[in-house]
Amino acid sequence: MGALDGIRVLSFNHFLSGPAAAQHLGDLGADVIAVEPLTGAFQRNWAVGNRFVDDTSVNHMTTGRNKRSIAVDLKAPEGIAAVKRLIANADVVMENFRPGTLDKLGLSEEEMRRVNPAIIYATTTGFGADGPYAKRPGQDILLQAMSGLAAHTGSMEHGPVAVGSVPIDHHAAALTVTGIVAALFERQRTGKARRVEVNMLQAAMDLQGESITAWMNGAEHDGPRGSDGMANWFSPAPYGIYATTDGFVMISMSKPADLARALDLPEFLEFSEKDGFDRRSEVSRKVGEGMAALSTDQALEKLAAQGVWHEVVQDYDALPANPQVRHLQAFTEAKTQGGSPMVMLSHPVRYDGVAPEVRLTPQPLGGQTREVLAEAGFADDEIDTLLAAGTVVQTDRMRG
């Protein structure tokens, strides 16, 4: 049983943020139906690192669990008519197209509400439904550039750096889930069905709430990034990554006196915590020199002895053996439709100590087309007619 049992969601989503949001809802028990084109959604046909396992894209692995799939030709009047019958029985419609895309297909929000006045309509866009940038493509790395994230990542010595994953997509997904759950709660209390809007630009800014707010309210800064090894412009030294003779160690905010004892830097013994701000470059440089003379094991022992917060910099390969990751069961192992092993991230929230189960692994394109149409009231002969005309398809293919 999940918190959203009995809630039906139609997901017209593609790429990452929208499908990820829909997956979270599915994890929580919602009946999520991915409405895909006949050739399959983007994330089914494209893969990070061009990696497919048994024809299953790693992107589909990332965002495709706990969903059923129906494949429909949305350019055919019969396809639109079929989708409207699905909308009539849905609680939520989600989409992350550019503004106006569904309108052109005859599936505007107004039309959906005519079919089902109680529908919650959730849209995730790059820049919002209107405004001067509304029609621009909203891609994570482009939003990193616009929002200041890239400019504030990296070092003053080497320039801006893009974050090596897609945090804005994932944060936008979390915000979309928050908005939908809030709208469902309000509908239950008041009967009002809301429109939920999330845009990636504000998601990118929200992701940087602490540093943007400090910057906009006059916090002193020499530039947008840290220098001399500092990870950012706003923290006291030595906050950053420091090389040892055989690796790298991240050091968090620490008292200069503790660092002095850990790294044999007597000049810092009289430094105050304020000096960590005022003399951050000096402190960071000296910490870098002290760390460079030690092996990683030596550094860890010395830092731990003085209570300095630290962590070894590790790659993804270290995660499966991490004892806390294992304790949390943060990975879920399953089989692809072809029977090969695959690894997915588990739902990251526990409810009474238990994470939601994987009820459905990522499904084939249109894997439940007939089933979903029958639940919407289509007779067998109606479904046969739609299948024969190619208006809908049911396949066992993982790609389009």
Residues forming the active site: 169
Residues 6+ apart with CB under 8 A from 286: 265, 267, 268
CA 230 to each of CA 75, 140, 156, 225, 265: distance values in angstroms, whole numbers, following the listed order: 53, 25, 9, 8, 18
Amino acid found at 304: A
Tokens of 183: 């709208």
CA 268 to each of CA 162, 223, 264: distance values in angstroms, whole numbers, following the listed order: 34, 25, 9
CA 34 to each of CA 26, 43, 224, 360: distance values in angstroms, whole numbers, following the listed order: 11, 12, 41, 13
Beta sheet of 120-125, edge-to-edge order: 195-199, 120-125, 92-95, 8-12, 31-36, 67-72, 392-393
Of 128, 144, 156, 392, the C-alpha closest to 284 is 156
What's the half-sphere exposure (Cβ side, CA atoms, 13 Å) at 190?
Answer: 8
DSSP H helical segments within 28-106, as ranges? 42-45, 58-63, 77-87, 101-104
Q: What share of the chain is helix, strand, coil (3-state, %, to 5)?
A: 40, 15, 45
Residue 324 CB neighbours (<10 A): 8
DSSP designation for 49: G
